[in-house]
């Protein structure tokens, strides 16, 4: 099969690899029809996630058609069109029973924190991902969801991670009616967090980023206010000025370990990796939120140390909530929102690229070229597209 192949930082290419096979009677083999490049994939691409091994196939956002199933699989059949949550989870352990699917106790022997994730280094279990023609899906009776006939395939692929993660970011903010919500980051997850904040009753939504075309997009898509942090001397002071000097009710970190905006954080967290990523946005969120407010974190940070102003959080009486999204838990509600027209996920797709051109796709997305918001990779024979074709619907 053709698959994305990681060759080291900033080096990926499409190569032929052996087809995956059924390794356990609970497995399925899915022929991929759509996969995405996620902002979290860029942390791998940039060499910032430990134990990302040469030869790995990335991709934790994918949909496809079931091609084979193990003898114990009862809920899927060959030919089913499925979306596969990025979490690899068992469905039966202590944490899965609490719907904490991102913390499954049985799918990642390398950690006591995060569960298994497709295509996300051996710190997340070492599972190959979906930027390929075929992928092995363990515990196939638990994770995959058959795509309803009235849900577009492009919407379905965004239900595997980006939309549920943005939605959970807003949910973890415990937004009350009329709250002011600040979202740091105007990538796909930040865009969906801003859109979801309205669904939870926000009265005002502000998005912070440094890329003008992304800010223009989120302003239109999520009907929110925007701030370019490059035009602001002090982020926390600026947010306080915008909020009658109280601070925001809720701040959401949708950026994670590669946050720009502070030279010292970038040097220690990205350049030298003395800490597990730049904690710039964590500082901004903690210092910008009001006393007694809520901070929600879905931006990815590596293990294990970050320089975070926890004393400020303590003395302000903040509530901090964070986790990998439990995708499966959110799917019924999000499908309702799509059907009702409350949200149209596929509008954020700006680029469709053949899997053969995966190296170019990563370069465009990483370098923020060509007004790229979200890239979908199309495997051979899954659809007729032109190389690096922009298909923005906005």
Q: Which pLDDT score, from 0 to 100, does residue 388 have? A: 40
Structure tokens given for 152: 């577009």
Residue with tokens 């949910």: 171
In which band, very low, low, confident or very high, does the pLDDT at 77 lie, cut at 50, 70 and 90?
Answer: very high
Structure tokens given for 180: 């002011």
Q: Which pLDDT score, from 0 to 100, does residue 273 have? A: 85
In which band, very low, low, confident or very high, does the pLDDT at 110 lie, cut at 50, 70 and 90?
Answer: low
Percent pLDDT > 70 in the chain is 96
- Judged against a pLDDT cut of 90, whether residue 390 lies above it is answered with no
Mean pLDDT confidence for 298-312:
89
Classify residue 32 as exposed, middle or buried by CB count within 10 Å of its CB (0-12, 13-18, 19+): buried
Residue scoring higher pLDDT (269 or 83): 83
Supply the pTM of this predicted model.
Answer: 0.94
SS3 state of residue 368: coil
C-alpha 168/C-alpha 193 separation (Å) is: 8
- Judged against a pLDDT cut of 80, whether residue 304 lies above it is answered with no
The dihedral built from the CA positions of residue 142, 143, 148 and 149, taken in this order, carries a sign that is: negative
Mind listing the pLDDT tens digit for each residue in 244-278? 999 999 999 999 988 999 999 999 998 998 898 89
Mind listing the pLDDT tens digit for each residue in 120-161? 989 899 999 999 999 999 999 999 999 999 999 999 999 999
* Cβ density class 155-189: b for 16+ within 10 Å, e for less: bbbbbbbbbbbbbbbbbbbebeeebbbbbbbbbbb
The 3-state secondary structure of 249-306 reads EEEEECCCCECCCCHHHHHHHHHCCCCCCECHHHHHHHHHEEEEEEEEECCCCCCCCC
Q: Is-contact 182 250, C-beta < 8 A?
A: yes
In which band, very low, low, confident or very high, does the pLDDT at 112 lie, cut at 50, 70 and 90?
Answer: confident
Q: Which domains does the chain have, with CATH numbers?
A: 2-161+327-390 (3.90.180.10), 163-322 (3.40.50.720)
Which of these ranges, 65-74, 100-109, 179-188, 244-253, has the smallest mean pLDDT?
A: 100-109
Give 297's contacts (C-beta < 8 A, 6+ positions apart). 252, 253, 282, 285, 320, 321, 322
Q: What is the dihedral of CA 271, 273, 277, 283, to 10 degrees?
A: -80
Which helix (H) or strand (E) segment is 66 a member of? strand 62-69
In which band, very low, low, confident or very high, does the pLDDT at 50 lie, cut at 50, 70 and 90?
Answer: confident
């Amino acid at each position: 099969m053709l698959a994305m192949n990681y060759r080291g930082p900033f080096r990926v290419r499409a190569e032929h690899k052996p087809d995956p096979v059924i390794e356990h009677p609970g497995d399925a083999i899915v022929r991929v029809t759509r996969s995405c490049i996620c902002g979290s994939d860029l942390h791998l691409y940039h060499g910032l996630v430990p134990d990302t091994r040469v030869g790995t196939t990335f991709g934790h956002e994918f949909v496809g058609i079931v091609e084979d199933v193990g003898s114990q699989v009862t809920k899927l059949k060959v030919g089913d069109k499925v979306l596969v949550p990025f979490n690899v989870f068992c469905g039966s352990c202590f944490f899965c029973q609490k719907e904490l699917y991102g913390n499954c106790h049985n799918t990642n022997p390398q950690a006591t924190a995060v569960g298994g994730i497709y295509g996300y280094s051996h710190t997340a279990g070492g599972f190959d991902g979906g930027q390929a023609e075929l992928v092995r899906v363990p515990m196939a009776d638990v994770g995959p969801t058959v795509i309803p006939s009235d849900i577009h395939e492009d919407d379905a692929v965004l239900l595997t991670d980006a939309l549920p993660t943005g939605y959970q970011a807003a949910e973890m903010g415990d937004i009350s009616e009329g709250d002011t919500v600040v979202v740091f980051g105007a990538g796909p997850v930040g865009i969906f967090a801003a859109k979801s904040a309205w669904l939870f009753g926000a009265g005002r939504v502000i998005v912070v980023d440094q890329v003008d075309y992304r800010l223009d997009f989120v302003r239109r898509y999520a009907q929110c206010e925007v701030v370019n942090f490059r035009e602001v001397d002090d982020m926390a002071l600026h947010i306080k000025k915008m909020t009658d000097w109280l601070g925001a009710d809720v701040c959401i970190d949708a950026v994670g370990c590669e946050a720009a905006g502070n030279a010292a954080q970038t040097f220690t967290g990205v350049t030298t990796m003395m800490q597990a990523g730049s904690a710039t946005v964590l500082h901004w969120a903690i210092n910008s939120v009001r006393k007694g407010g809520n901070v929600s974190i879905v931006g990815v940070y590596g293990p294990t140390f970050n320089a975070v102003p926890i004393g400020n959080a303590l003395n302000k009486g903040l509530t901090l909530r964070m986790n990998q999204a439990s995708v499966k838990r959110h799917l019924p509600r999000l499908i309702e929102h799509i059907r009702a027209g409350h949200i149209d996920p596929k509008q954020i797709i700006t680029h469709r690229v053949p899997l053969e051109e995966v190296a170019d796709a990563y370069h465009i997305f990483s370098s923020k070229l060509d007004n790229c918001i979200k890239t979908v990779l199309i495997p051979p024979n899954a659809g007729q597209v032109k190389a690096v074709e922009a298909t923005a619907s906005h």
